[in-house]
Amino acid sequence: MATNCTHDCSTCASNCGSREKTSLIKAPHSGSSIKRVIAVASGKGGVGKSLVTSLLAVRAQKMGYRTAILDADITGPSSMKAFGVKEHAMGSEDGILPIRTAEGIKMISMNALLDREDDPVIWRGSLIAGAALQFWTDVIWGDVDIMFIDMPPGTGDVPLSVFQSIPLSGAVIVSTPQDLVEMIVKKAVNMAEMMKVPLLGIVENMSYFICPGCGSTFEIFGPSKAEELKETFGAAACARIPVDPDLTRLVNEGRIGEADTGCLAAVFRAVETSRPINS
């Protein structure tokens, strides 16, 4: 891309990546009708993207939206585990059928296609990115009001392919309070901005801990930066998820559908009012 790019392709003769973005957008399977698509991303691994994806999906489903999760973390899928889903995806000559959680959330994940959930996926980046896009183009999603894409960490092949090739209503960025994480997460925020994907929310995971004995709040990983990041990057909303042993237990037991999602209310409002992908 030219260093003096104005992002107005009509005034530029350069054949750069920005000019090609629209042509890279892929349509979903013909048997799918999807209204909104939300990428849940972060520049850093281990911050809780899958947790946030799952909690947002649970909230959407409980509020009556037809909800889906596309697990684009091909080499480290974990969404099925959080919901206690162990079945394999089925298919036909027309495409792949998503599995369903006990709550009715539609889902596709690499683990749904493997013989065993601990089988490794030892592929190069281009194959991994292609598989993530096939979850969009080859799965018969049916009618979906809100789809959440659980992204892998970083800004490499899969995030780039998703941001370029899947029409997104917006992105939710997941962080934790540590300074090192904040620096890396800003890369994902900047990527969303460069790809012109609206930043709907900042979610700070492991933000604080409430002592069960005295009720005091402790910011054990450092002061919260959620509001600061929201203001700095112009996110529509921010939220803080506490360190909560009960939430950890529900995830470990595959019962995240029973979790309280109230802490994500503000971010979810931004999600449900985001632009439809066909608008």
Q: Buried b / exposed e across 22-59, counting CB within 10 Å, b at 16+?
A: eeeeeebbeebebbbbbbbbbbbeebbbbbbbbbbbbb
Collect all residues with Cβ–Cβ distance below 8 Å to 199 and sequence separation of at least 6. 170, 171, 173, 189, 192, 193, 233, 234, 235, 236
Q: Give the residue from 228, 233, 135 showing the smallest Cα distance to 191.
A: 233
pLDDT truncated to tens, each residue of the chain (279 aa)? 445 565 445 445 455 655 544 458 999 999 999 999 999 999 888 899 999 999 999 999 999 999 999 999 998 888 999 999 999 999 888 999 999 999 999 999 999 999 888 888 888 888 999 999 999 999 999 999 999 999 998 888 899 999 999 999 999 999 999 887 778 888 889 999 999 999 999 999 999 999 999 999 999 999 999 999 999 999 999 999 999 999 999 999 999 999 999 999 999 999 999 999 986
Which two tokens mark 223?
């002061």
pTM of the model: 0.89
**The dihedral formed by the CA atoms of 93, 95, 98 and 99, expressed in degrees to the nearest 10:** 20
- In this predicted structure, what is the pLDDT of residue 62? 97
| Diameter over CA atoms, the chain | 66
Q: Which CATH class is domain 27-272?
A: alpha beta
Show me where the domains of the chain are located.
27-272
Place of tokens 């509020």: 63
